[in-house]
Structure formats: C-alpha cells, structure tokens
Amino acid sequence: MPDISPAQPSFEDLGVHLSDVTFVVVDLETTGGGADSEITEVGAVKVRGGQVVGEFQTLVRPSAPIPPMIQVLTGITNQMVASAPPPSQVLPAFAEFAAGAVIVAHNARFDTGFLRRGYEELGLPWPRPTVVDTVALARTALLRDEVPNCKLATLARYFRAATEPNHRALSDARATVDVLHGLLERVGNLGVHTLEDLTEFALQVSPDRRAKRTWASNAPECAGVYYFYADSTTPEGEAKREVLYVGKSTNLRRRVRSYFSAAEKRGRIHEMVRVASGVEFVPCATDLEAEVRELRMIESLAPRYNRRSKNQRKISWLKLTDEAFPRLSIVTKVREDGTYFGPFRSRDAAEEAALTLYDAFLLRRCTTRLSPRKESTACALAEMGRCVAPCRLGDGAAAYPAIAQAVTDSWLTDVRPVLRSVRLRMRKLVEQERFEEAGTISDRLTAYYRTSIRFHRIRSLALCRQLVAAIPSAQGWDIHVIRYGKLAAATTAPSAQARLAAEEAAATAETVLAPSGGLPAGSVEEAERIAAWLELPGVRLIETDGDWAWPVNAGLPEGALAAELLGPEPCLPLEPAIRLAS
C-alpha cells in the first residue's frame, strides 16, 4: 500500500500564523438598520499577538435626526452628535487606522456593510479586507449546551470579558476583543493556528479537509487534468485504486487547493475529499487538451462523484427508416444504413422534434411496415388530413418519396422549410391573441433549429479529414490537430517556431479512421468542445485536408429566426412544406 499520510506542510500551505496577524475589531452605532440609516459612532481596537496596540473612537454627525428609540438604546442623543465630525472626516481616518489589518466584528455583515457604503459615497476604494465574524466563529466553535445564543452580551459573560457591552461603539469593540481571544484559544485546540485556518473554520471547513491541502503542493501551475482516487485492499489482499472524481483546470495547483478551502461548498465533493486517499495530475499542453482529456477520462473511468459527461454516448437521434415508405424512428446508435438527425439530449427532445417534422411534412406516424403493392387501412390521421396516407397507395404513395427526400434535404441542406411550415398557424394564433399556444410552437421550433445548428456543427467536423489550427497564447501559440472531429494532437510553440511545431504535431498526431454515419470519431461532446474552440476570436487555420463547411441555409442570420416563423408582412398563407398536387 502506498503511503497516504499528509505531507509535511510548507510555509505557503501553513499561511499566516495568528500571532502575526493584526486585527482591527470594530463596532458601529447607527440610526437604524435600513438602507437610509447612517453611522453615529465608530469604535475600534487594534490588537496583535493578544496585545492592544491602538484604539479609535469618535462620534459621527449624521445628516438626519437620530430616532428616539435609537437614542434610548445607545444613549447617543442629537445634542451629542451636533458638534461631531461628519463621515467625510471620520471614515478616511478610520481607513488609515485599519489599513492592512483583518477586520473583526460581531455580526460583521452589518458593520462592514455600513463601512463599505460610506467608503463608496466618499469615493474611497474599499480595500476588500479579510473579515472575521465572531458570530459565525462562535456558532462553529461552541456547543449549544455551552451558550444559549451567540449575542455579544452572552459571549462576553461566557468568556468573562473585562468590558461589558452597552451599545456604545468602543465598549462593544473592547468586549468583542475579549470574545475574539476566547474563541481563538478555543479553536486553537482544534488545530486552527493560521488566518487561513480561522476563516475556513468559521465556514465549517473540517480540520481533516484542511490537512489534505498539502496534496496540492506537488501540482504544477499549468493547464491539465486532476483526479482524486481512493486506495483500498481487496479481500484477497490485493491493492485496489478507484478514481473518484476527474476535473480539469487552467491552473492545477490553484484549482486543487480550492477543494480544501471554504470556496468549495458542494456537499458531495466534501464527501469525496473525505474518502479520497490522494490526487494525481496530468499536465496538458493547452486548455483544449485538458478539456478533451477530462471528457475521455470521465467516459472511460465513470468516476462515481462526476455527474456530467458520464454518458457521452447516451444520446438520441432521429432516423428515416429504410423501407418503401420511410418513417421517423428514435435511435441511440448511428449506423451507415440510413439518414440521421440530431443529437438530442433526451428521448423527449427527440419526440418533440419528430412532432415538428410530422406537422411540416405530413409524414406517416404509424409503425406498420407498409407494402408498396398492397393497400392497407388508413388511420385517423389520414382522415384528418395530417398524413398523405401512403398505405392507400395512389396519390399518397406517389408523393411519399418526395416527402421523404424533403425531410432529408431539411436535415442536410436547408432548415427553412421546417421553420416556415408554421407561419400560417402562428399568425392565426397571434391574431386571436392565443399567445401561450404560439409560444409553445415557437419554443418547439426554436429547439429544433438549435438542434439543426448542433447537427451541422459536429457534422462539418466529422466529415473533415484534418484541420490544423492555432490561437495566440502566453507561450506563443496553442496548436491543435483535429481529425474527423477528434483531437489528435496538441502542442504549444513560440511564434517563431509555430509553423514547424504545427508540421511536427501533424506528423506525430494520433491516427484516426474515418467514422461512419457522419458522426465525429470521438464523442459528440468532444466535437462540440473542439467546435467552440475553433470559433474563438483569433483562431488561425494553418492547414485543412478536406472540407470544413456548412450548407448555406443550414443556419440563419442573427435575429432572423422570428421572421422565419412569422413570415414577412403581409404574411401569405403557407401550407406544410410538402403537399399533394390538386
């Protein structure tokens, strides 16, 4: 069994020891808690290493009278603040007093909210200090049977504070100092020794998870893939390793460190880190290579804590069956024996697209295998005029090959007949103010159009033998070799050597055989990631072998979809895309 004990933390991993941190414990008195309330008093105590090194206290003159209830609560009257300095003098002085320190407050969101708003009103930059909330810290460190609540007065009594809080800023700040020191002593016994430990502890990051932060120390600061694993032993005594989770990042060290901090809030990931024995890294030349490697590893390993991309091949397609009178069929595998359209993320989405095509082309919906020579009984849809009834032979059978070809053409070359088939119906619904029904049809056609774009996006890559492309990066150029929609090689090179690096990458790239059925050689999701990269601003094509192209009418100009659905003014009555000759 490998040694899975945490490594000795480095100084970077340890962070800033609490004895070296300067805290400014602040308390504000205000005219209320609303957005229009103002500060009436500021009290602050600066402490370091358990010793007080400075205090700050002043009344503040608000622009409006203090409400009577607030005067009773705080003891601060309108007469007391009449000669006090305004916020424009107090806040810059406090900013200088607290510069570079960690801000501590009891219910810190209240105090920092007023301070931040005051800074913004005066045009002072908010320094985004580290903030410690003694309420949050107490809720995590103390048990329910120790204190009934986490009010300042309750905690001051519990920790025997030298100053009793009395709703005056400096007194409350002094009491909060004693509460802070009591809490630090308490959490020190729980392994909290640094500022990073303290902030994470307040957010309920367990000591065990913080201890595993050292796993990130060996991670390179580059793009790549990381995977958490759990080591165990089989009943036969053999070592066994299970990959728990696979991820990718542009900076492996920074990303992996986040799993052991308060930034990670997903419960299932907390569980994954708890059971993990370690983490490994796979550095990658480019960000795209990291994305693709992540997809491939998730697909092949099926880690139990990954949710997305585990079923990359589990997608649905529409197929025109190979028979005398073709019909639509929903399938999950693409072969060379038919015409396909998709992919769809679910069977329900494929069924919605099929309904769109039934309305547009009057395709038959029955599943019976019809004979081209023997007449069959027509269904109710034929009687309603929603199918040309090839089962009856005659005109319907004669027109059906054109209908099937029109469906194929709409998939492969021109999406507009499908979109335009609803114009008459849409205009009628709008005129009758049946907007919900019109919206349903619009949503269905919009989903169909997006699938058409997705279809041609991946199909265009799948039919291209090779693309060599590059994009500027910090290293010079990121270069990729793409074959039949699959990433075959990735490298980086300085600008002066980009051409040579591209040629070498193409020469040593993975051999990829031409796929069948117009599908990419890799997964559909991989092809979509590649297509998204190729469409980034700044990508340059170095070499193409084959055609990387879409049919002209496979898509629409930006913003033209609504016009296709509703038609130009005046809207001429339109029938379904294919209709019988009279």
Catalytic positions are: 167
CB 469 within 8 A of CB 461: no
Structure tokens at 572: 């001429």
CA–CA separation, 566 and 571 (whole Å):
8
**Phi, psi (5° rounding) for residue 488?**
-105, -20
What gap in Å lies between CA 387 and CA 230, rounded to an integer? Answer: 58
CA–CA dist 373, 364 (Å, integer): 17
Structure tokens at 487: 């990433």
Neighbours of 311 (CB within 10 A): 11
CB–CB of 172/183 below 8 Å?
Answer: no
CB–CB of 169/29 below 8 Å?
yes
Which stretches of 386-446 are assigned E, i.e. beta strand?
none
Distance, CA of 75 to CA of 553 (rounded, Å): 76
Cis-peptide, bond into residue 127, ω within 30° of zero: no
Residue 342 phi, psi dihedral angles, 5° rounding:
155, -155
The residue written with tokens 């790549």 in the block is 224
- Stated as kind and residue range, the H or E segment containing 139 is helix 134-141
Residues 383, 385, 391: CA angle, nearest 5 degrees? 65
* Residue (of 432, 28, 456, 8) closest to 217 by Cα position: 8
Q: CB–CB of 376/368 below 8 Å?
A: yes
In whole angstroms, what is the distance from residue 180 CA to residue 182 CA? 5
Q: Which amino acid is at 243?
A: V
For 532, the token pair is: 């998204």
What does the buried/exposed string (b/e) look like for 127-149 if buried means 16 or more CB atoms within 10 Å of the residue's CB? eebbbbbbbbbbebbbeeeebee
